[in-house]
């Protein structure tokens, strides 16, 4: 387990009577199954193939008795060297290591083989041992947390971080999936193919609402980690908010938005601006004309019933994200989780000040969470400044090497998509003289299970939204359009309430209610 950060308090006195060292409350013994441990060790030494039923479940730390842990480790070492495993070879291995007598001697090793008649139940017994180990780990961690909580010198933030990390490591270690035969997997795959064939849109995942993008990805697929990367102010938040609106409003898919940069109120106001196409300054100040109030009332209704859940916890840790996502999947059946953005998340483990290693751990954990919860996880990411130093309209297009802080992001992601707007760099025309104003490209630079391609969208900067080019003619004509300040620091600081109505955001545990 990872060492807790902050000052350490003295823990309870451990039990050391030939057992695994563990802190316990006075008068209580930790969960244990010593007789089953003896049966498993005996079964492994009786039948040579029994080790293969056990080794994927148990490690030496799972054994309660210290002597059993050392015997099991000797068996594992023999297996790694592909040497025979029986009473004689295990005894010889323990003698070679100089620990034969402290594990009970030859007589005790012989006695282990008399505890069981065969290895038929070895796997089941191994799982029982593992369950006891998890219980002891929970007791150990909770006891340590309790002791540190009573220590007034311990910083509360350090205590929370170390506690989260310890619990996260236990849960990560307990997630084990059995090997599945291909006939069952084929059955599930064929059912999925048949289900997709019956859909008119041929989507098997969560639709983004953009036709060409969905055609390339077949929708955002469950278990996928999708990275959406761009330089600051390129429109990352606007893009995922536009997708979240499409998913929730057009397709009734539950969406969880984790905003580490903007407040929930700011996100909701941006969604209102995007949905109503009213000027953002007027939305912030509430200075709307009568016809604009009517437009607001007429268009806001679609967002009221949208299954969107927003969490704006700053410096969100991976452990918190996993816990909240699991609850949202169970309680509200969300089908996609969005993080804005990855580099603002925190890792509570020990990375010794190495930010690149910290980001690597975060991206690896996000992929594991996507697989565990069977939902796509979309994480926004920053790009480094390398793209700024390149010249020419084509050279400004981002590349995988531009991903900031960690190459592990590229490795862990199933899809990496870049947002590129030539207009951002001052290019208003391409080489053929075609206008680039309002043009945005979604560049699929990595696609583990599909093709690479570019998707052209239109960025309506006054409303901070992305739409498909053919929808431009449907835009609402305003008497006057003022420049948007959605990305200004001034807006982030402002929190002006609506003069006409109030739209509270949903909480993480609330059912869909009006904003």
Name 245's Cβ contacts closer than 8 Å, sequence gap at least 6. 209, 271, 274, 275, 303, 306, 308
pLDDT at residue 406, as a whole number: 63
Beta bridge partners of 223: none
Contact 69, 61 (CB under 8 A): yes
What are the backbone angles phi and psi of residue 443, rounded to the nearest 5°?
-95, 110
CB contact at 8 A, 18 and 66? yes
Predicted pLDDT of residue 432:
74
Tell me what pLDDT residue 352 has: 59
Task: Give the phi and the psi of residue 359 in degrees, each rounded to 5.
Answer: -65, -35
**Within the chain, what is the greatest distance between any pair of CA atoms?**
95
Cβ atoms < 10 Å from Cβ of 71: 29
Task: Provide the pLDDT for residue 15.
Answer: 36
The answer to whether 344 and 250 are in contact (CB under 8 A) is: no
| CA separation for the pair 225, 339 (Å, rounded) | 11
Q: What H or E segment, with its residue span, contains residue 14?
A: strand 14-15
CA dihedral 199, 201, 202, 206 (to 10 degrees): -100
pLDDT for position 26: 52
pLDDT in tens, the chain (515 residues): 343 443 343 333 333 344 454 444 456 788 999 999 999 999 999 887 788 888 878 888 899 999 999 999 999 888 888 888 888 999 999 999 999 999 889 999 998 988 787 778 888 899 999 999 999 999 999 988 999 899 888 888 778 877 877 887 787 666 565 666 777 677 777 877 777 677 666 677 888 888 888 888 888 999 999 999 888 888 888 899 999 988 988 888 999 999 888 888 888 888 888 888 777 777 777 777 888 788 888 778 888 888 989 888 888 888 788 888 888 988 888 999 999 888 888 876 655 567 778 888 888 889 988 988 899 999 998 887 777 777 777 777 888 877 776 677 888 889 999 988 888 777 777 777 777 788 888 889 889 888 888 888 888 877 888 888 864 433 333 333 333 333 344 333 334 333 333 343 444 444 433 33
**312, 263 in Cβ contact below 8 A?**
yes
- Please give the class, per CATH, of domain 14-174: mainly alpha
Three-state helix/strand/coil letters over 164-203:
HHHHHHHHHHHCCCCCCCHHHHHHHHHHHHHHHHCCCCCC
| Res 498: pLDDT | 35
* 366's tokens: 């996000």
Quote the pLDDT of residue 350: 58
- Multiple choice CATH, 203-493, 1.10.3720.10, 3.40.50.300, 3.90.1150.10, 3.50.50.60: 3.40.50.300
Contact 508, 328 (CB under 8 A): yes
Numbered ranges of CATH 1.10.860.10 in the chain? 14-174
Residue 211 is encoded by which pair of tokens? 């036709």
- Listed in order, the ranges of the chain carrying CATH 3.40.50.300 are 203-493
């Amino acid at each position: 387990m990872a060492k807790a950060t902050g000052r350490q308090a003295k823990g309870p006195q451990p039990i050391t009577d030939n057992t695994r060292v563990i802190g316990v409350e006075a008068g209580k013994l930790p969960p244990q199954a010593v007789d089953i441990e003896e049966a498993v060790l005996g079964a492994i030494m009786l039948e040579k193939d029994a080790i293969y039923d056990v080794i994927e479940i148990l490690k030496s730390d799972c054994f309660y008795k210290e002597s059993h842990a050392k015997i099991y480790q000797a068996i594992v070492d023999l297996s790694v060297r592909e040497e025979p495993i029986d009473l004689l070879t295990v005894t010889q291995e323990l003698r070679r290591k100089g620990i034969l007598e402290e594990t009970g001697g030859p007589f005790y090793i012989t006695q282990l083989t008399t505890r069981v008649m065969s290895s038929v139940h070895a796997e089941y017994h191994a799982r029982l041992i593992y369950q006891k180990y998890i219980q002891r780990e929970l007791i150990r961690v909770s006891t340590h947390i309790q002791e540190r909580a009573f220590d007034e010198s311990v910083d509360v933030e350090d205590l929370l971080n170390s506690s989260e990390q310890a619990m996260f490591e236990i849960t990560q270690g307990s997630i084990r999936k059995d090997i599945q035969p291909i006939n069952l997997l084929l059955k599930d795959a064929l059912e999925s193919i048949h289900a997709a064939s019956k859909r008119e849109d041929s989507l098997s995942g969560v639709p983004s609402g953009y036709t060409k993008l969905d055609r390339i990805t077949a929708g955002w697929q469950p278990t996928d980690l999708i990275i959406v990367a761009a330089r600051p102010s390129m429109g990352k938040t606007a893009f995922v908010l536009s997708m979240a609106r499409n998913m929730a409003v057009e397709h009734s898919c539950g969406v969880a938005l984790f905003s580490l940069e903007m407040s929930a109120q700011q996100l909701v106001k941006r969604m209102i601006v995007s949905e109503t196409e009213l000027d953002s300054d007027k939305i912030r100040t509430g200075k709307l004309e009568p016809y604009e109030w009517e437009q607001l009332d007429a268009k806001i209704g679609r967002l009221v019933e949208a299954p969107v859940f927003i969490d704006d916890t700053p410096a969100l840790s991976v452990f918190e994200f996993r816990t909240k996502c699991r609850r949202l999947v169970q309680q509200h059946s969300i089908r996609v989780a969005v993080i804005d953005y990855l580099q603002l998340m925190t890792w509570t483990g020990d990375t010794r000040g190495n930010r690149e290693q910290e980001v690597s751990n975060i991206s690896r954990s996000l992929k594991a969470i996507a697989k565990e919860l069977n939902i796509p996880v979309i994480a926004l990411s920053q790009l480094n400044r390398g793209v700024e130093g390149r010249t020419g309209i084509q050279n400004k297009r981002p590349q995988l090497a531009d991903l900031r802080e960690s190459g592990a992001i590229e490795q862990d992601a199933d899809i990496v998509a870049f947002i590129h707007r030539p207009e951002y760099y001052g290019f208003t025309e391409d080489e053929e003289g075609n206008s680039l104003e309002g043009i945005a490209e979604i560049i699929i630079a990595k696609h583990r299970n599909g093709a690479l391609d570019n998707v052209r969208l239109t960025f309506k900067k006054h409303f901070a939204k992305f739409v498909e080019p053919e929808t431009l003619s449907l835009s609402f004509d305003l008497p006057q359009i003022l420049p948007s300040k959605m990305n200004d620091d001034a807006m982030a600081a402002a929190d002006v309430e609506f003069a006409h109505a109030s739209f509270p955001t949903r909480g993480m545990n609330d059912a869909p209610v009006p904003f």
